[in-house]
Structure 1
Amino acid sequence: MSSEITKQEIADFKQAAQSPLTTIAQRATIKNGIHNASFNHEILNANTPTFSIDLDTGKVANQKQSGRCWMFAALNTMRHDMKDLFQLPSDFQLSQSYTFFWDKFEKANYFYQNVLDTAQEPLDSRKVAFLMTTPQQDGGQWDMIVAIIEKYGVVPQSVYPESAASSASREFNTTFNTLLRHDATILRDLVAHKASEETIDATRKALLANIYRVLTITFGEPPVEFNFEYRDKDNQYQIVKNLTPQTYFEKFVGWELSDYVSIINAPTADKPYNATYNVELLGNVVGGRQVKHLNVTIETMKSLAIAQLKDGKSVWFGVDMGPQVDRNNGLMADGIFSTDDLFQVNSKMTKAQRLDYGDSLMTHAMVLTGVDLNENEQPTKWKVENSWGEKAGKDGYFTMSDEWMSEFAYQIVVNKSYLSDELVDIYDNNQPKLLAPWDPMGALA
């Protein structure tokens, strides 16, 4: 059967498209664009930024032209606790550039390890091609920032400030990935010529020395010891001397990071609920904490987030920040753009279908800082702290409808204490299923 489009078919399609409704939609879209022409004010009016549970978390941060949202979100949840405990000013931030430096360094080594582990496979194998497409990038997962902090600690932004490349990382990433691919040719060639383990290890260390030099030139030398000076909310001068990044984390953050776990909602047939999952080739620190997800229903995921918010603790979470997001009004709400009505089509898919057919995955991480509960204690909308600066949304905060969360939120991080005994046992003791490197649950925010 031929699938060629004929002239008669085009004439038929043209005739079928002609109607007063199509003409009105055409005029509106040509002049205003798809989103403006399909904007649904009823959805906007139904999602006012008022919440029954609303945490005071201070000013929002700004990741600028970088893909560090996962890092910003994690450090923001930590600084929320610090702000109240130590009476820090509302604009205090932990250094995202510091964790960025060590993430880049560790990702280089992680890439080398993956190159060596797959060196026996042909270059055109899907796994090797996947590695070479993007040797490293800015994005990450919760467990990956934990791996960095457990090894390197944290520092205040005043001690290790932003650089040109940390705030606008595209130029650096292009240069860095070219260098990593070059290094991959060296490592694969050593394996092909049956070099000794000693030779391979010596070469890897020499390559890492180059990486460290590149990073220090780009971002600056990371601090080893420092003094923490600040003025508290009462403008009183404070100083704590002779800190290391590790002792700073212990004194000023003090979290037991092993107690915080990744909860996902992936309603696809290949991922039964109440089970754990790893993703092959996904991580950043060789020998460090590996990415591990516990898959639950969306109702369970929401209840866990609400429980933590009720205790005054913000919640790291990951979403697909592409569909149905109005940046100007700071609104994430399904139906805010009624494009199906505009075009007189039906493009609706289930959450599982969007994952299975490549239409959606996690692309951005933010922080839940509030929720609006109805008389039945059910959520209607959520308050979201973004990391796009104060100009986006309402002073940098977004409102997310509960329906949107159901459809486009994929991950939260909560303390184990909020999980049932059954879920804790599953997370701690069940053998995780290993997912393919390109599985959507391996997407980096």
Structure 2
Amino acid sequence: MLGKLLTTGLAQLYRNGNIITSQKTRNGDGGNTTALIIGITVSAGVLLLGLIAYVVWKRKAMQNKGKIGKKGPHERSQDFLLNEVVISSKKEFSAESQPDELELPLFDFDTIATATDNFSDEKKLGQGGFGCVYMGRLVEGQEIAVKRLSKNSGQGTEEFKNEVRLIARLQHRNLVRLLGCCIEMDEKMLVYEYMEHRSLDSVLFNKARSSLLNWQRRFNIICGTARGLLYLHQDSRFRIIHRDLKASNILLDGEMNPKISDFGMARIFGGDQTEANTKRVVGTYGYMSPEYAMDGLFSAKSDVFSFGVLVLEVVSGKKNRGFYHSNSELNLLGHAWRLWKEGKGMDLIDSAVGDSYNAQEVLRCIQVGLLCVQERAEDRPSMSTVVLMLNSETATMPQPKTPGFCLGRRSTLETDSSNSKQDESCTVNQVTVTMLDAR
């Protein structure tokens, strides 16, 4: 800027010099003095104006720089998403991760607080390992579900980022839809579509509500969850391992259609990657596969194991964790395995289903569930095979082998003291394996 002004001034001096020279030729020495004074005055004026303009421009630039350094909460939220969440490294998401593919709305805190009556207890839908979930209604009438991460928890930030990165890029009828998020000050919230019947466990394991799930609805929940999991493992743009599939993470809409939720623990696999190892075992008691709980080894077959547990829970209406038959200390998997071997598989079905059910579908679901929870990962079917077996009455199905399950009234998986008081429905994040006896 200053260089341009100086150049203009020098050009003016050059032109004035030419005027002086020409006037000297025409008018003699008498006109030289007048022309020289005029030239110097004009040039000095141009340089002075240029200097003033430069000072004004520099001052405005400094003021703008100070404003940029003092961003408001909403601007910081956008930076958080664009720099750390939405725009991900090419190494992790390859060429498919283009920032313009994501249009994730940012809600301000006041909007969410108004929608949830300032997070009142009456609006609380449930509570998990990282905070509470609230029902809300936006001013335009749309119902939403808000997951609010606990500010006192040292965990959850990475899970929050992970869920935004993943679920914002996934579209399937059996996956819950993320509508937006809110990041202001210490608040981190995810905004989902509202599911009228909440989570599967709130209906399935509730004596007063379990009768809402007749056999046809239970079968549709099993098949819909299988399709959603197949999409994650095979048909989505990224191969995704959920790692925390359970009844509380299956949400039900107004027509009891299932939608998989909570991708905070999920991991993306590369195109040729089949398994991975972690020192930080995450998941929920009763749903974790033996190889994952013992060695931290997870793969698509880990999700298959969790799905098998879920199938047997849907059929029986009983939780695997905490279930013990009256005459033994078997958990649900052990109980189902014993009934299957004795040819009494139909005894597993929940009495709340009533008499209206297809016996062949029930037995097929039990067999699929037992195939999915086999002890060895390589013996378990893939989700594509599971979907085929569930939807075909003529598909050839192998006989299941011994499931991987724990015996004893006390779980052989123990948490550290910081997690020992967590509710059984919560996700655990640190697991110390002492012993796992599978038979």
Q: What is the TM-score of this pair, normalised by structure 1?
A: 0.21
Larger RCO (CA within 8 A; separation ≥ 6): 1
